[in-house]
Amino acid sequence: MANISQKAGMMPASAIRKLVPLADKASSKGIKVYHLNVGQPDIKSPACALEAVAKNGLDHVSYSNSAGLKELREGLVEKYYKKIGINISLPEILVTVAGSEALNMALQITCDEGDEVIVMEPFYTNYNTFAFMNGITLKAVSTDIRDGFNVPSMKDFEKLITPRTKAILISNPGNPTGTLYGKEKMLALGEIAKKHDLFLISDEVYREFCYTDDPHFSAMNIHGLEQNVILVDSVSKRYNLCGARIGVIISHNTEVMKAAMKYAQARLCPPVFGQIATIGALDTPASYFREVRNEYIERRNFMVDTLNKMEGVYSPLPMGAFYTVAELPVDNAETFARWMLEEFNIDNETTMITPAASFYKTPGKGINHARLAYVLEIPEMKKALHILEEGLKAYPGRTV
Amino acid sequence: MANISQKAGMMPASAIRKLVPLADKASSKGIKVYHLNVGQPDIKSPACALEAVAKNGLDHVSYSNSAGLKELREGLVEKYYKKIGINISLPEILVTVAGSEALNMALQITCDEGDEVIVMEPFYTNYNTFAFMNGITLKAVSTDIRDGFNVPSMKDFEKLITPRTKAILISNPGNPTGTLYGKEKMLALGEIAKKHDLFLISDEVYREFCYTDDPHFSAMNIHGLEQNVILVDSVSKRYNLCGARIGVIISHNTEVMKAAMKYAQARLCPPVFGQIATIGALDTPASYFREVRNEYIERRNFMVDTLNKMEGVYSPLPMGAFYTVAELPVDNAETFARWMLEEFNIDNETTMITPAASFYKTPGKGINHARLAYVLEIPEMKKALHILEEGLKAYPGRTV
């Protein structure tokens, strides 16, 4: 029996999905599980996207250009990015297999094995997975829940910069925190990147989910940093097309885009049906985003209010995405999450949350934090949060 | 301006697609280009596959399980693999983003950086690309065009085996050669893998395109090698769904499948519309494959006959896939292919072929070889081959 590689053995398993077997087990015992653990919203995709797929008219499904269908790239440039103030030309955008591939490409393009990338913790856990796959070390700047996980002092970044540092990787609005970095914070990050000539990889897949009155400020609009910014984007969240697996990588840097094309050609092309759905999605009316945004603001307000009324629980008010990271009065949020699935229920219903320690790089950090997604309708969420509250009261490892 | 990584700079560009800009230039001058260069058939996808997508009935497009929709995995196991004599259980199959991802996963799972994989040259050029991306060295056993590029002596393999050798990677039927390895050759390869405890990664994406009377013999059916075989498969060619981007990785080895799941979770899920198309495709009637096979046999016979009638040209008769590698009477097949696109046409029509040197690892090998795909209808192919023949006569670097 041949042995698998050491690297495959050491590859981190998904922190977000590792409790799924426990949830499945609970379900199989007849327990209904409320999923506050994943960012899978229940909101409909735009009808124009679904219609485009239904009426695709293909009689065979050929490869597209490795960079994506030209109609899609042109549509994205003209109908989407131009409208939101991101001005790019056709060679500066390449369609990827969702944001995941765009992110992986951005890391491969900027870093050799042994290089370092600075992130802010808590960060999206797959940043760590893709870094591992590419032999890259993540260095984490800590942020503070009481400061809403916002960008800390630039000194905290500079302390971590070494000759091997190649990039700063951010997600704005942030997963898991929902934190929105405003223009001032973005310009400060841009200054650091410029001073040390680092790439700024900006994951903006939650761009349409911003709850302030100011428009989202993209890293693409940091003046003077055009050659250093790589934008990672996706239609998964924007149009609720998670399963379509369509994203993009965007940069004004021609060397970056030339390299991206080589990686793109190796995997031949992005999924064609998903590309067709996205071409359709480009005609989504503004009212769709308004309605979705209003819905999420209500859900967010409800979740955060409810959480903060629970004894010993603290959640900041996130200004973007559809997550919050809350502090729980427990010894260990993972132990608690497992206990909720294995031991606790009210009338055969329980609630699933994602323990947040794996969103941190610093050992021991975030041990009593959990990520909660406000992706359920309010009546459902109300039940889920009630069960959570009662669970917290009954949990043997409660700390207050 | 930040610099891209050394690795991204050194990443090989697609050998198959690098002449595309010349073809585009020819087209823009009003020249019609016959594409014998790519494996993009003109045959329709099964109606049941296209209908499944058109009538998908989704109102939003969620993530699927990282391993793929359960209905799809079950369908593949029961309705496809069982019927062709490959017996697997549900945990032994994982849906990938086409054969490309399955191949990349197989390399990541079997090899650490610096490890070696044995291939037979000429081989599918992206084997080299994915090996490069993972820091793996390909070692190539040479095969002979006069022997139809078949598996040579086992001694040729053993000469290349070192302590760093982790796998043998084959494609059967082969791209670019169309060579079909029969049961005897497969068992011989199995013996080597067993003796040296190597993985045997078997890329069988052209399985339905076999032109002998014997059924295709899968590596999955080599007795006693169950723990060493990894099957790479795809629906791209089988159902002419190249753009759907759905493949699978299959193994009886639980460690392999556990690792595959970790890589799968990192990219969240395979494309959902493509999965739905594939669920539909599982109901493809046997008559579809019969008709396609008959069509390809005719096309193959026509192409190979026509090639061998040209002075100085030699092509073996491939027993699988829809390619042949032919020897041309030219100093350099790449120079010739470029010249055809840039300098030669008959009544504003020219023919594009893929120079085969990049399918070889040994420098200088295959310099006058080209891959030709018989994916056009015979009347079209007839014109394309006529232009090729006249081009060969007129080419300044002709050698006979």
Q: Which of residues 199-228 of A touch B (CB under 8 A)?
A: 199, 227-228
* pLDDT score of B100 more than 90: yes
Does B161 reach chain A within 8 Å, measured CB to CB?
A: no
What's the CA gap between B226 and B219, in Å, rounded? 9
Contact A17 B266 (CB under 8 A): no
Q: Which residue of A has its CA nearest to B113?
A: A7
Residue B165 pairs in a beta bridge with B116
Q: Which residue of A has its CA nearest to B165?
A: A2
Tokens 């919050």 belong to A324
Nearest to B108 among A5, A110, A198 (CB): A5
3-state secondary structure of A24: helix
What's the CA gap between A281 and A235, in Å, rounded? 9
Residue B327 pairs in a beta bridge with B314, B369
Q: Which residue of B has its CA nearest to A4?
A: B110
Q: How many CB atoms sit inside 10 A of residue A114's CB?
A: 9
Closest Cα of chain A to B143: distance in Å?
A: 24
Amino acid at site B82: K
* Average pLDDT of the residues of chain B: 96
Handedness of CA B87, B90, B96, B98 (dihedral sign): positive
Nearest CA to A97 among B56, B256, B273?
Answer: B273
Q: How many CA atoms lie within 13 A of A158 on its CB side?
A: 10
What's the CA gap between A393 and A328, in Å, rounded? 11
What's the confidence (pLDDT) of residue A20? 87
* pLDDT score of B218 more than 90: yes
Does B26 reach chain A within 8 Å, measured CB to CB?
A: no
What's the confidence (pLDDT) of residue A284? 97
Which residue has better confidence, B41 or B12?
B12
Q: How many CA atoms lie within 13 A of B73 on its CB side?
A: 20
How much is the average pLDDT of A31-40? 90
Confidence of residue A334 (pLDDT cuts 50, 70, 90): very high
* pLDDT score of A41 more than 80: no
**Which ranges of A159-285 would DSSP assign to H, the alpha helix?**
183-195, 254-266, 272-281
Amino acid at site A359: F
Q: Under 8 Å CB-to-CB from B330, ≥6 apart: which residues?
A: B336, B368, B392, B395, B397, B398, B399
Nearest to A53 among B3, B56, B108 (CB): B56
* pLDDT score of A225 more than 80: yes
* pLDDT score of B109 more than 80: yes
Does B259 reach chain A within 8 Å, measured CB to CB?
A: yes
Instruction: Quote the tokens at residue B381.
Output: 């192919």
User: pLDDT over 70 for what percent of chain A?
Assistant: 100
* Omega before B122 within 30 of 0, i.e. cis: yes
- CA B40 to centroid of chain Cα atoms: 11
Closest Cα of chain A to B399: distance in Å?
A: 33
Closest Cα of chain A to B385: distance in Å?
A: 23
Contact A5 B133 (CB under 8 A): no
What's the confidence (pLDDT) of residue B208? 94
What's the confidence (pLDDT) of residue B111? 98
Instruction: Quote the tokens at residue B70.
Output: 């359960």
What's the CA gap between B225 and B8, in Å, rounded? 37
* pLDDT score of A14 more than 90: no
Nearest to A112 among B7, B63, B110 (CB): B7
Is it true that domain B6-44+287-394 has CATH number 3.90.1150.10?
yes
**Residue B78 carries which DSSP code?**
I
Q: What is the pLDDT of residues A48-67, one digit of tens each?
A: 999 999 999 899 999 999 99
- Residues A374, A299: contact at Cβ < 8 Å? yes
Closest Cα of chain A to B151: distance in Å?
A: 23
Contact B60 A44 (CB under 8 A): yes
Q: Under 8 Å CB-to-CB from B200, ≥6 apart: which residues?
A: B167, B168, B170, B189, B190, B193, B219, B222, B225, B228, B229, B230
What's the confidence (pLDDT) of residue A324? 98
Contact A5 B112 (CB under 8 A): yes
Is it true that domain A47-281 has CATH number 3.40.640.10?
yes
Nearest CA to B237 among B320, B116, B327, B341?
Answer: B320
What's the CA gap between A83 and B326, in Å, rounded? 52
Q: Which of residues 34-53 of A touch B (CB under 8 A)?
A: 40-45, 50, 53
Mutation target vs A (from B273, B275, B292; most A CBs, 10 A cutoff): B273
Closest Cα of chain B to A70: distance in Å?
A: 14
* pLDDT score of A197 more than 80: yes
Does B255 reach chain A within 8 Å, measured CB to CB?
A: yes
* Concatenated DSSP letters of B303-318: HHHHHHHSTT-B----
What's the confidence (pLDDT) of residue B287? 94
Nearest to A59 among B44, B228, B242 (CB): B44
What's the confidence (pLDDT) of residue A17? 78
Does A85 reach chain B within 8 Å, measured CB to CB?
A: no
**Which ranges of chain A would DSSP assign to H, the alpha helix?**
6-10, 20-28, 47-54, 70-75, 98-110, 125-133, 154-158, 183-195, 254-266, 272-281, 286-309, 333-342, 378-394
Instruction: Quote the tokens at residue B307.
Output: 């090639």
Does B70 reach chain A within 8 Å, measured CB to CB?
A: no
Does B272 reach chain A within 8 Å, measured CB to CB?
A: yes
Query: Can you give the residue ranges of every domain in chain B?
Result: 6-44+287-394, 47-281
What's the CA gap between B77 and B250, in Å, rounded? 10
Q: What is the pLDDT of residues B155-194, one digit of tens each?
A: 999 999 999 999 999 999 999 999 999 999 999 999 999 9
What's the confidence (pLDDT) of residue A38? 83
Q: What is the pLDDT of residues A164-180, one digit of tens each?
A: 999 999 999 999 999 99
Q: What angle do CA A93, A95, A97 make, to 5 degrees?
A: 145
Amino acid at site B255: E
Q: How many CB atoms sit inside 10 A of residue B382's CB?
A: 14
3-state secondary structure of B198: coil
Closest Cα of chain B to A274: distance in Å?
A: 7
Three-state SS string over A275-303 comes to HHHHHHHCCCCHHHHHHHHHHHHHHHHHH
Q: Under 8 Å CB-to-CB from B83, ≥6 apart: which residues?
A: none
Does A166 reach chain B within 8 Å, measured CB to CB?
A: yes
What's the CA gap between A207 and B344, in Å, rounded? 51
Residues of B in contact with A135 (CB under 8 A): 113
What's the CA gap between A172 and A206, in Å, rounded? 7
CA dihedral A98, A104, A110, A115 (to 10 degrees): 160
Q: Under 8 Å CB-to-CB from B346, ≥6 apart: which residues?
A: B386, B387, B390
- CA A317 to centroid of chain Cα atoms: 18
Q: How far is CA A19 from CA A16, B130, B264, in A?
A: 7, 32, 16
What's the confidence (pLDDT) of residue A352? 97
Q: What is the pLDDT of residues A228-276, one digit of tens each?
A: 999 999 999 999 999 999 999 999 999 999 999 999 999 999 999 999 9
Q: What is the pLDDT of residues B315-364, one digit of tens each?
A: 999 999 999 999 999 999 999 999 999 999 999 999 999 999 999 999 99
**Residue A116 carries which DSSP code?**
E
Using CB atoms within 10 Å of the CB of residue B238, give its burial: 0 to 12 exposed, 13 to 18 middle, 19+ buried: buried
Nearest CA to B354 among B383, B328, B380?
Answer: B328
Which residue has better confidence, B276 or B400?
B276
Handedness of CA B269, B271, B276, B281 (dihedral sign): negative
Nearest CA to B374 among B1, B37, B31, B110?
Answer: B37
How much is the average pLDDT of B87-107? 98
What's the CA gap between B48 and A163, in Å, rounded? 56
Dmax (CA) of chain B: 64
What's the CA gap between B16 and B370, in Å, rounded? 11
3-state secondary structure of B125: helix
What's the confidence (pLDDT) of residue A1? 75
What's the CA gap between B202 and A175, in Å, rounded? 39
What's the CA gap between A300 and A321, in Å, rounded? 10
Q: What is the pLDDT of residues A91-135, one digit of tens each?
A: 999 999 999 999 999 999 999 999 999 999 999 999 999 999 999
**Residue B172 carries which DSSP code?**
S
Contact B59 A50 (CB under 8 A): yes
Residue B320 pairs in a beta bridge with B210
How do B32-35 and B349-352 pair as beta strands? parallel
- Residues A249, A105: contact at Cβ < 8 Å? yes
SS3 content of chain A, % helix, strand, coil (to 5): 40, 15, 45
